[in-house]
Amino acid sequence: TAWLALIWMARIRAGDRVLIHSAAGGIGLAAVHLCLREGCTVFATASSAEKKAFLLKLGVTAVCDSRNVEAFEHGIREATKGEGVDVVLNSLKGKAIAASLGLLRPFGRFLELGKRDQYEDTNIGLSP
| Mean of pLDDT over the chain | 92
Query: pTM to 2 decimals?
Result: 0.92
Whether pLDDT at 60 is above 70: yes
| Distance in angstroms (rounded) separating the CA atoms of residues 5 and 89 | 8
Structure confidence at residue 125 (pLDDT) = 64
**Contact present, 113 and 89 (Cβ < 8 Å):** yes
Q: Which helix (H) or strand (E) holds 51?
A: helix 49-58
* 18 or 128, higher pLDDT: 18
pLDDT at 117 over 60: no
